[in-house]
Structure 1
Amino acid sequence: MTDRPAETPKTAQGATARAAQGQGATTPAPPAPGQDAAALRERAVATLTRARDRTALLTSCVDEQDLTAQHSPLMSPLVWDLAHIGNQEEQWLLRTVGGRDAVRPDIDSIYDAFEHPRSERPTLPLLPPAEARAYAADIRDRVLDVIEHTPLHDGTPLLDAGFAYGMIAQHEQQHDETMLITHQLRKGPAVLHAPEPPAQDTGGATALPTEVLVPAGPFTMGTSTEPWALDNERPAHQRLVPAFHIDTVPVTNGAYRAFVEDGGYEDERWWAPRGWAQIREHSIGAPLFWRRDGGGWLRRRFGTVEPVPDDEPVLHVSWYEADAYARWAGRRLPTEEEWEKAARHDPATGETRRYPWGDADPAPEHANLGQRHLRPARAGSYPAGASPLGVRQLIGDVWEWTSSDFLPYPGFRVFPYPEYSQVFFGGDHKVLRGGSFAVDAVACRGTFRNWDLPVRRQIFSGFRTARDA
């Protein structure tokens, strides 16, 4: 299997130089009015610090043996991620943005995600844990000095609105998500702890309409104004979408269990051919980490075994599993443009929002993000985060598979290098939207596009269904 897109960014040959000069790039949006250099510096430092605090949590809660072990051939050793985070920060922020001398050019190749697939990384001469920590900390100290002394508005795309700092903060948070996946795959007792999602007096999913009608008409998809948006989210463009119905909440464990117990994994007619071959070859009969317990089901979650909660969004299902469930239910997965219209379009005003609830940055009352909790909230939670039409939990909780292949938008231009998005375009990867409880707000917005292979199950993925109106 190929590496997950969160492995990027990569410093390709000459890419940083082209980005710094602005050659062939789409310029990020200018800063918002009143967003001066001091405010941008404060934002850059705070966002990078939040990411590093999370990295420290994920790498300090286990011993050196766990840090250097490969807990699954699908994932890197945690210590590889730690040093890779520091190396990318060195290449982009210290060398390219800051123009400083290289600190460890000798390790660039070792931590090149494109050069070494995950299955090979334990065989590389990786920095040991103490050295990896010291290296990442040293780079961060130097980068903080760069932030203090480098102009944030110098007319080049890489620095406008502090884009480079946002890109690296998103990169670190994406690797934090992959490290959290590694923790889920890791055997052994629980080492991570977090409070339960808040109990919300919503009556649960049963008190809500099962689906919402999204009326036909145009809407603006993508963005040309979000300062830290990535190239695959650009540019903003009009889409005409026919009317459709979409689930009010993500598909729950209870609903998915009905599919399992109805023999869904034994009935070829629900499955795409490659999906059917996949589940037969690997004897898959339920979401990853589920196992039967008499007449019920248990799941393993970060080292704890517990009953599968029926009212939570289903988690750890592949695109093939989501697609099969939708067929069994007489429905389908939403397209990417349907998902984004449901999440961002306000039919009453015709406006396109940054998030379902409006333009304000995510707050705890809006969505389950940032590893504040180690599970999805129950279906129907976060009414303050609902879309104008009343669709719940479009941001946070679980990544949501769509039916769409990962393709460029009309007018797409590479920025800052082809290996971020362009090399993944095509029919091999399916688009996921919305983020999960494992995603930080800096790497999740109404336009954010994730993509992965349709066989992936270890990721924090769920889905909701749709139907034509």
Structure 2
Amino acid sequence: MPIEHAAAVKLSEQYQQVRSLSEKLASKLQNEDTIIQAMPDVSPPKWHLAHTTWFFERFILKENDSSYVPFNPQFDYLFNSYYETIGSYHPRHSRGVLSRPSMDEIYEFRNHVDEAIIQLVNQFESQLPQEIHDLIEIGLQHEQQHQELLLTDVKYNFSCTPLLPQFAEPKTFQLPQSNTETTYINIEGGLVEIGYSGAGFSFDNERPRHKVWLEPYRLASHPVTNGEYISFIEAGGYEQPEHWLSDGWATVKKEKWKHPLYWRKTEDGWYTFTLTGEKKLSLDEPVCHISFYEADAFARWSGKRLPTEAEWEHAMASIPIDGNFAESECYHPVVDHSENLAPFKQVYGDVWEWTSSPYTSYPRSKPLEGALGEYNAKFMCNQIVLRGGSCASSQSHIRPTYRNFFPADKRWQFSGLRLAEDQS
């Protein structure tokens, strides 16, 4: 079914808004910043800008516009990420050696593809095919994911230089008195439904909506704070194997973890590195940059547990998607200053919340056809689900059903936790 003209115009506007945000973020960097890859998990900002553009060229223009002339055929190899069905690609761990193409050429590439996409949308007028609409929409969602990755990757790269540079200037907020007292909310459970079912966009891993059984449980009103996590550290949590999963304890010993990523202990107390520079650690901010192993160990030490992703989604489904997102340009979790009456605070934005759920497909789920079937489904092994979004996520990108996922030992993302427990 073709898309109405008004919907096509809206999509064109959305395309330009999302694409311009990537370049706005990159404009805060020096050219030298854009080629750094301080560890294999991160990618250089220049690569993010090019890869998201390659996505539109490869999956939309090359497949749907016979008149399109590729910007540079070599980019198919350089900026493919992991799509094996398309062809070979430059190794992920070596993206930092790509001093060429230059940033100027990357921006020319972006402009070349942007003009072709807008022309493709406009040429159909009121007859834009649903398939092209859907491909552009997934491309925009994909770019929003890479905008968040750009921020988290820049933060890690900057943390590795003794100069500890700032990505952005600190934001000053005039906010009311905070309320960080944590309570536990009873959730009845029962036979409930989770998963996406609606007319808007969702990834294939969010579908279909299906039934799950939940025993009665309790969920914390707030994410765990820095102050609460320091209590775990000071109690010897990182030296006590009884709190840790076997793989987690092995990782702690191997990596010599003593505290969350970016923290530094001084005679003056704890400091943390942020995208606005190093600052004194606020005890009331949500703890972030912890692995699943650390979140699970803290929960066990606390006599609690992590929620399953079904418990999280069922409890949060009706909470408004409001909070500290990338749009605030704070780029760091903040103290809870919300005045809403919802029982749960800081559900969306601030920090991704680890769940106890492995990342697997939903019942009757089907991957996308073709190469895009590799987008999510191929990663459904050795990954843990996170929910809620972070201070580096775009607000328009997040849904109650959104499933993020990372390996259990990763902590360069803005990841924290919210505690749960069974009702007695």
TM-score > 0.5 by shorter chain:
yes
Partner of 2:86: none
Taking the TM superposition and a 5 Å limit, the aligned residue runs for 1:204-353 are 204-206=179-181, 210-294=183-267, 296-302=269-275, 304-344=277-317, 353=318
Counterpart among 335, 355, 380 of residue 425 in structure 1: 380
* Cα distance, 1:296–1:128 mapped onto 2, change above 3 Å: same
Partner of 1:72: 39
Counterpart among 324, 331, 334 of residue 374 in structure 1: 331
Partner of 1:49: 16
Separation in 2, partners of 1:107, 1:438: 28
| SS in structure 2 at match of 1:105 | coil
Query: How far 1:196 moved relative to its partner?
Result: 4.2
Deviates more, 1:441-450 or 1:306-315: 441-450
Query: How far 1:295 moved relative to its partner?
Result: 5.7
Separation in 2, partners of 1:429, 1:197: 36
C-alpha distance after superposition, 1:65-94 (max 9, x if no partner): 221232333212211111111111111232
Query: How far 1:293 moved relative to its partner?
Result: 1.1
Query: How far 1:38 moved relative to its partner?
Result: 3.4
Taking the TM superposition and a 5 Å limit, the aligned residue runs for 1:104-253 are 104-114=72-82, 115-124=89-98, 126-150=100-124, 158-159=131-132, 162-185=133-156, 186=158, 187=161, 188-193=164-169, 195-196=171-172, 199-201=175-177, 203-206=178-181, 210-253=183-226
C-alpha distance after superposition, 1:295-353 (max 9, x if no partner): 62111112511111011100100000000000000000000100000111xxxxxxxx4
Partner of 1:83: 50
Aligned residues: 408
Separation in 2, partners of 1:71, 1:200: 39
Q: Do the aligned partners of 1:98 and 1:150 also contact (CA within 8 Å) in 2?
A: no
Q: Do the aligned partners of 2:121 and 2:128 also contact (CA within 8 Å) in 1?
A: no
Q: Which has the higher contact order (CA 8 A, sep 6+)?
A: 1
Partner of 2:361: 408
| SS in structure 2 at match of 1:205 | coil
Separation in 2, partners of 1:117, 1:441: 32
Query: Aligned Cα RMSD in Å?
Result: 2.2
Question: Which consecutive unaligned segments of at least 5 residues does structure 1 have?
Answer: 1-29, 345-352
C-alpha distance after superposition, 1:243-263 (max 9, x if no partner): 100110110111111111111
Q: Do the aligned partners of 2:35 and 2:97 also contact (CA within 8 Å) in 1?
A: no
Partner of 2:85: none
| SS in structure 1 at match of 2:273 | strand
Separation in 1, partners of 2:223, 2:167: 28
* Cα distance, 1:153–1:453 mapped onto 2, change above 3 Å: farther
C-alpha distance after superposition, 1:41-80 (max 9, x if no partner): 2432333223222211222222222212323332122111
Query: How far 1:443 moved relative to its partner?
Result: 2.3
Amino acid at match of 2:325: L
Amino acid at match of 2:39: S
C-alpha distance after superposition, 1:212-252 (max 9, x if no partner): 11112222200132421010000111222111001101101
Q: Do the aligned partners of 2:169 and 2:276 also contact (CA within 8 Å) in 1?
A: no
Provide TM-score, normalisation by structure 2: 0.90
Separation in 2, partners of 1:64, 1:123: 14
